[in-house]
A and B are shown apart, each in its own frame.
Chain A
Amino acid sequence: MNSSDAVREGLIPLLPRLRRLARALAGQAADADDLVQIVLERALARAAQWRPDAALDRWVFAIARNAWRDELRARGRSQHLFAPEEAGEMAADRASAQPAQQLELAMALAALPPDHREVVALVLVEGMSYGEAAELLEVPVGTVTSRLARARATLQAHLGKEA
């Protein structure tokens, strides 16, 4: 079996997890599946670069993360759901007696930058260890833990107020 066949056959059982990761990164189902399609095409095109002693899932998840980043760069509008004026509107709304922690939670989640979002997707959704995520993202483990802590603090603070 050549490497192309090995990659192709190895990817089949990984499709559900790949789709879940893409959904966590890209959001809407159709967009996420477009991302998965790009990932599969890239993985097949680069099959010769995969070494059989490397875990195929982490290899393809890295391709997925990089493809998502490429797409964000291409869009140039990756950071925030709310345009500044919109955020202002919502802040004003919040000041006017909305049961506001809910609004804050929504805004906090939406405002997570890509650096934080991808760590949440890899560690909390996909279940990678800090070390695996650090290797995939090519950053130190301490960077993963600090990004995760900040992302989590944002989300947790608001969930905590709910409880």
Chain B
Amino acid sequence: MNAIDDDTLQAYVDGELDADAAARVDAALAHDAVLAHRVQQARAVRAQLHAAFDPVLDEPVPARLSALLQPPAAPALAGGRHAHAMHRRAPRRWYVGAALAASVALLAVALWWPHAGGDMLRMHGGQSFAAGPLEQALNHALASEPEADAQVAIGLSFRSNDGHICRSFVLHRAPARAGLACHGDGGWSVPVLTAAPSPGDDGELRQAASDLPSAVRAAIDARLRGEVFDAKQERAARDAGWQ
């Protein structure tokens, strides 16, 4: 019988046990490899979360936020709300649940990807960005000129309703993935990445929008304003650096 229950183990990992209780866990860990492995797993979750979110601490604070905390310019306004209201920027329409869930899913992908030997994503400030071959393909590849053996196939390119250029893509190496990337200051952010049909099923590249997983289609629908780029527009956008 295992004397250390899950709650105790969790409290141990989170530093919530008093010295005596912690010493008992220490003693049990010394000769229980299974228990030691569980502690290591629990610490790994914590470490991965910190690795994902701690970089935010080092980011410069956006001016619109620090401006809210400036001393009021006129003494008459001190303590009043009007001084702050002047700085107010109407928050964009936002989808907290969906955005959070998407970022958590991407965090998960970023967590497992190193194990899978992948090099297509990097995390920055809790967000995912394209890296390696994926970033290369997004920067240079044209859907109108597909390369037969490329591991990344570019699908649709279009200008999103916030003015940034987005491109859908499919990763052909296992596990097959499809996603959407949007160009911005930090490179290509990846708001959506999901499982894709395996390209080997019928030997054809799956690039048509109708073949994309519904999560990617939904992400495109939510952003698309006007038409997707034709071959000429796609090339022109690339030559302009996706601005």
User: A25–B98 contact, CB under 8 A?
Assistant: no
User: B195–A27 contact, CB under 8 A?
Assistant: no
Partner of A93, one of B41, B91, B191, B195: B195
Task: Produce 1/0 per residue, A5-34, CB < 8 A to B.
Answer: 100110110011101100111111111111
Instruction: Please report which residues of chain B, range 105-119, place their CB below 8 angstroms from some CB of chain A when the two chains form the complex.
Output: 105, 107-109, 111-112, 115-116
User: A77–B105 contact, CB under 8 A?
Assistant: no
**A107 and B215 alpha carbons, distance in the complex (Å):** 13
Q: How large is the interface on B (under 10, 10 to 19, 20 to 34, 35 or more residues)?
A: 35 or more
Instruction: Please report which residues of chain A, range 54-108, place their CB below 8 angstroms from some CB of chain B when the two chains form the complex.
Output: 68, 71-72, 75, 77-82, 85-86, 89-90, 93-94, 98-99, 101-103, 105-108
Residues of B within 8 A of A16 (CB): 56-59, 61
User: A26–B96 contact, CB under 8 A?
Assistant: yes
Residues of A within 8 A of B89 (CB): 37
User: A112–B104 contact, CB under 8 A?
Assistant: yes
Residues of A within 8 A of B103 (CB): 27-28
**A30 and B59 alpha carbons, distance in the complex (Å):** 13
Residues of A within 8 A of B14 (CB): 123-124, 130, 148
Question: Given A8-B71, A98-B175, A125-B49, is A160 in contact with B41 using a C-beta cutoff of 8 Å?
Answer: yes
Report whether over half of chain A's contact residues are helix, strand or loop; otherwise say mixed: helix
**A68 and B94 alpha carbons, distance in the complex (Å):** 11
Residue among B42, B61, B89, B104 with the most chain A CB within 10 A? B104
Residues of B within 8 A of A155 (CB): 45
B97 in contact (CB, < 8 A) = yes
Please list 29 pairs of residues, one from A and one from B, whose beta carbons are closer than 8 Å in the complex, sorted by A's number.
A2-B78, A17-B57, A19-B59, A24-B49, A28-B127, A29-B126, A31-B92, A31-B95, A31-B99, A36-B65, A38-B91, A40-B65, A40-B69, A71-B94, A80-B101, A85-B214, A94-B195, A99-B175, A103-B175, A109-B107, A109-B108, A124-B14, A124-B45, A124-B49, A145-B10, A148-B14, A149-B7, A159-B41, A163-B41
Please give the residue numbers on chain B whose beta carbons come within 8 Å of chain A beta carbons, in ascending order: 6-7, 10-11, 14, 16, 41-42, 44-46, 48-50, 53-54, 56-59, 61-62, 64-66, 68-69, 71, 78-79, 81, 84, 88-89, 91-92, 94-105, 107-109, 111-112, 115-116, 125-127, 174-175, 191, 194-195, 213-215
Closest 8 CB pairs between A and B? A81-B101, A27-B100, A27-B103, A34-B91, A106-B108, A4-B79, A27-B99, A78-B97
